[in-house]
Chains A and B, each alone.
Chain A
Amino acid sequence: MLLVLFACSGEQRNAAPAYRLEPVVAPARARHPLTLPLAAPGTGAAANTARSELLEQVLGALGERDERLKTLARKDAEQLPPAEIAALREVLQDAAESDSRRGAAAEALGASPLPEAELALLEFMPDLRTPAWLRAVVTFQWGRRAKNLYLGKAILRLKYEPDDEAVIWLADALSRHGSRAGLDGLEVLMQRARTEELRALAAERWQAIRSATGPETGSEMGARTGAVDAPPASERVAEAWWWIGKLADWDLRQVDDARFVLQRLPDWVVPLLCECLHDSNVYTRVHAAQTLARMGARARPAGSALIEALAERQLAPTAAEALGMLGDAGVRPALERCLNAGRDPDLAVAAAMALGRLGDASALPALRAIAAPPDLVFATQLARVRLGDGRAVAPALLQALEGNGHDPEAAATALGEWMSQGARKEQWQALLHDSARGIESAEQAAVRRIAQARLVREELGP
């Protein structure tokens, strides 16, 4: 509790106990070693591994139409040793092989219970140079497997897979293995998949997943993943730490990917991310907090760890932002204390914005009391709109919209929230830039803002 009290008092109060920083990720990865290395897609030599007769038989039978033969072949595939899995992997990846043999290799890998087989499928999925149908097949086969360990690798495909059908099977496959991360994508595809048939398939899969996992609605459901998945297998935890290790990578693409995956892993990842808030690497700390922020309400158990993190200067603004996303009114007092952060304006601004997002109107007195510096006042005004103080702050936001050095687009967005509750909401809506018309030029934006300002004036009245 002492920590919480001192969390925002800045450098002045020497009495505050120092925030604990230590190596977290490296020891955790040593404690949770992966039994198989997680290679990047497309790596690994095509060593022309010897193919046994059994393997050729399996591939042949799986390529046939005869269902009975196929069932037998799948049984055989279950028995294949790791060396043969390597051979199957080569067939799958070899563009010179026939389509039917590559499809059969995917099916055999789907039947094998070995984690090597799972990895062979996962590594292949992101190879965008192969035909989309084959990626869809591989995804489907991954989903069919009885037991899958590497959820994160599959989740990442949601970010890059351009083919509608492959995405549908991916969402479906993920849901079978305890992750609802694909539901958001299905909701989009129900409306916008490239054919009527695929739209129907997306809707059907969406229904099926919903009825299997509960009646939550819309994006709330997409945001939640695998309530079904506890406790995780140790290899899954090891994979999570492997992704966490990427949070400190120099290459931002790795970091982006890691944040994307981690925020969609099941709830058991939250305590792991909380541990990372103490890592001695600042990128690990900040990116872990960002990941928690993106998890929203699912990260509520991280509340006290994030409040504690307000005591660490570099982490504090991101921790404040994350606290605003949890939707837990209990964090309000901690955020309010940060409004007077004194020497770190970044923290104060982040806290003001977070209070707005939190949506608890009891924060209004604290926000209204802020009179300087200007940038913080502006942030409190943006927050106050969200808490119902729109009319009071609209005149100030109007000036920002017209260009007084504050972010005009932030002002426009906030004013939009207020206007959409008023009589001129349709007119406001009509003014918004339609992204279908391409990128708005600076001139177009200026013209739009003038029209928006005029409308706000009308709404305010004389």
Chain B
Amino acid sequence: MQASIRIFAGLLVSTVAALALYQVFQPPEAPAQARQFTSSQECAQCHAEPFREWQDSWHSRSWTDPDVRALSNDFANTDCIDCHAPRPVFETGLANRVLPRAARRAEGVDCIACHQLPDGGMAGTFDRPDAPCRPQARRELAQVEFCAPCHDQHKTVTQWRASSYAAQGIGCIDCHMPYRNGDPNQGRDHTMHGGHDIELVRKAVALRAQRSSGAVVVEIENVGAGHHFPTDERSRAADVFWRPKGETAWRWLYRFRSPYRHEVELTDTLLPAHATHTLRIEDENARGALEVALFYKLTPYWKTPAAPDPEAEAKLVHRVELSP
């Protein structure tokens, strides 16, 4: 056994196996009633499906995400650690902010951060004191307040509260954690799609264009997001472009975005839930056949701001054509 400890320490074989060994060597005074989880990898063994989905989610990448690392100077800016490698939400309580974690930072926003209760059990939908992870029914897990510790600094939850979804009781998880295969008995999908999933972004907005008294009237309506569009107030942007049919270069028309604090010359143009924004194109080149398109960008800046190339640097959300 001694020899194997040394091998483990030196080589770091699979985390799960090493942890199993750790269990054996846990100090005897540790209380027997609760199994203590020291890594979300340990959940995989019994909860393969949520684990796989979570690994595919941006929550699991919140520490390794290159954009975050670049913006936080590799987390040398320690202000950024809190939500990107958090201690459990239930430790500080719902609607309070999370505290930063020192251990397992590479796991990001993980199972333990979302599920672990202060007594070591796991928040879930039922009580099962005999199960290894001791699930306990906690209704709060399904409420918007549960997402707020991290998502309301960017005001997403506040925006939701002001929308009709709040009145209807359609919460964050109803849109972002649908039941697997639509079946409530199969539990909820942990992939938590957001801006990285262009299909979801397409569902958020509708784009319409028509001619009216000599001008082209363009309407963009937030039909599917339970909050402002685009959601992330800090760095996402959605731009409306148009071009006469046959031309290759897009002409910029309008941008939906919440600016950074130093961008004092810009105003907040996010589109609230259910709201419609109307634009007019009054240009003689718009008399013939033309295209109008909405593009989505994960980061705000264009390589050449004077002549942005949305097809290369952004993703197409919707496109409509208009005849002369």
Q: What is the interface of chain A, defined by CB distance below 8 A to chain B?
A: 12, 128-129, 160, 162, 250-253, 255-256, 259, 282-283, 286, 290, 294, 314, 317-318, 320-321, 342-343, 345-350, 353, 371-379, 395-396, 399-400, 404-410, 413, 435, 439-442, 444-445
Chain A residue, CB-CB nearest to B10? A396
A375 touches B38 (CB 8 A): yes
A375 to B37, CA, bound (A): 12
Contacts of B74 in A (CB 8 A): 409, 413
Provide 16 A-B residue pairs closer than 8 Å at the C-beta atoms, listed in order of the A residue: A250-B97, A252-B79, A259-B79, A283-B97, A314-B91, A314-B99, A343-B30, A349-B103, A350-B102, A371-B6, A372-B5, A372-B8, A400-B12, A406-B12, A407-B105, A409-B64
- Selecting from B17-25, B168-176, B218-226, the interface stretch reads B17-25
Given the contacts A345-B38, A396-B11, A408 and B106 also touching, CB distance less than 8 Å: yes
User: Interface of B with A (CB < 8 Å)?
Assistant: 5-6, 8-12, 15, 18-19, 21-22, 25, 27, 29-30, 36, 38-39, 41, 63-64, 66-67, 69-70, 74, 78-79, 82, 87, 91-92, 97, 99-106, 153, 261-262, 264-265, 299
Nearest CB to that of A347 among chain B residues?
A: B102
Closest B residue to A128 by beta carbon equals B264
Knowing A129-B264, A290-B78, say if A349 contacts B102 (CB, 8 Å).
yes
User: Chain A: interface secondary structure?
Assistant: helix
B79 touches A256 (CB 8 A): yes
B69 touches A409 (CB 8 A): yes
Q: Determine if B70 and A162 form an interchain contact, defined as CB atoms under 8 angstroms apart.
A: no
Which residues of B sit under 8 angstroms from A342, Cβ to Cβ? 27, 29-30
Assembly CA distance A253 to B79 (angstroms): 9
Residue from A347, A374, A395, A396 having most chain B Cβ neighbours under 10 A: A374
A320: nearest residue on chain B (CB-CB)? B102
Residues of A within 8 A of B69 (CB): 409, 440
Knowing A371-B9, A396-B11, A400-B12, the reply to whether A376 touches B102 (Cβ < 8 A) is: no
A440 with B70, Cβ < 8 A, contacts A349-B103, A350-B102, A375-B104 known: yes
Smallest CB-CB separation from A397: which chain B residue?
B12
**Chain B neighbourhood of A346, CB < 8 A:** 87, 101-103
- What is the CA–CA distance of A441 and B5 in the complex, to the nearest angstrom? 37
A374 contacts B29, CB within 8 Å?
A: no
A376 to B8, CA, bound (A): 13
Residue numbers in A under 8 Å from B63 (CB-CB): 407
A378 CB contacts on chain B under 8 angstroms: 12
Residues of A within 8 A of B41 (CB): 405
- In the bound assembly, the distance between CA atoms of A409 and B277 in angstroms comes to 43
Measured in the bound complex, the distance between the Cα atoms of B17 and A273 in whole Å is 43
Q: Across chains A and B, which 9 residue pairs bring their CB atoms closest together, nearest first?
A: A407-B106, A350-B102, A372-B22, A349-B103, A439-B70, A128-B264, A349-B102, A374-B18, A373-B22
Inside 8 A of A407's CB, which chain B residues have their CB? Answer: 63-64, 105-106
| A435 to B79 Cα, complex, angstroms | 20
Q: Which B residue sits closest to A369, measured CB to CB? A: B9
Q: Are A404 and B15 in contact (CB under 8 A)?
A: yes
